[in-house]
Amino acid sequence: MKITKPIEDILNKQIAYEFEAAYAYLSLAAALGSTPYAGFAHWMRLQYEEELEHAMKLFDYIQERQGCVKLLKFEYPTYTIKTPLEAFKIAYDLEVENTQHIHDAYALSLKENDLPSQVFLQWYITEQVEEEDNCQKMIEALELAGTSLGALFTLDRQAGSRK
């Protein structure tokens, strides 16, 4: 069954939001890259790749449903941050915002009685819970570490081992 126009529109918007998130993470990776925290920079860069995958999953789905992919303009966020804590707070806020976009898309799929899109979007709903939690945990750990260089070094090493 071909996708409806309202669903096609909201999923195309979601592609742009995922690219926006990808670009934001890349920007945070760049900012952290000019600090001694190579591990956190690596973490952000992997997250950039994940966001691109989220965008491409939507891209494929729209085409599978005989819809038309439209690449919309998106914001190009750039950040100047001084600490990893600042970077993860930005990432957390970004994820919360994106969760709202996903929930809006899901609500529309209910309204449109589009069952395949409901199933498709459930993956994103679960993913958002995980991504918010990842950022939140990192914020808590960084807040606990405070200004202890030893603790920060350990956390950076852990972040750097992310695959």
Give me the least distance between CB of 71 and Fe ion, in Å please: 16
Measured between its terminal Cα atoms, the distance across the chain in Å is: 37
- State which of residues 8, 20, 114, 131 lies at the interface with Fe ion (CB under 5 A): 131
Contact predicate 66/8, CB 8 Å: no
Query: How many Cβ atoms are within 10 Å of 122's Cβ, its own excluded?
Result: 13
11, 29, 42, 89, 90 from 36: Cα distances, Å: 38, 12, 12, 19, 19
Site string for Fe ion, 86-125 (x = CB under 5 A): ----------------------------------------
> By C-alpha distance, which of 10, 117, 24, 126 is closest to 79?
24
For residue 34, the minimal CB distance to Fe ion (Å) is 23
Asked whether position 54 contacts Fe ion by CB under 5 A, the answer is yes
Report the distance separating Cα 91 and Cα 72, nearest Å: 22
Residue number, 8 or 18, with CB nearest to Fe ion: 18
Judged by CB, which is closer to Fe ion: 49, or 143? 49
Beta carbon of residue 26, minimum distance to Fe ion (angstroms, whole number): 13
Q: Tokens 């200004």 sit at which residue?
A: 147
Query: Rule CB under 5 A: is residue 20 a binding residue for Fe ion?
Result: no
Q: Which of residues 34-53 bind Fe ion (CB under 5 A)?
A: 51
Instruction: Give the C-alpha separation, 72 to 16, whole Å.
Output: 6
* Closest distance to Fe ion from the beta carbon of 109 (Å): 17
Residues that bind Fe ion (CB under 5 A): 18, 51, 54, 131
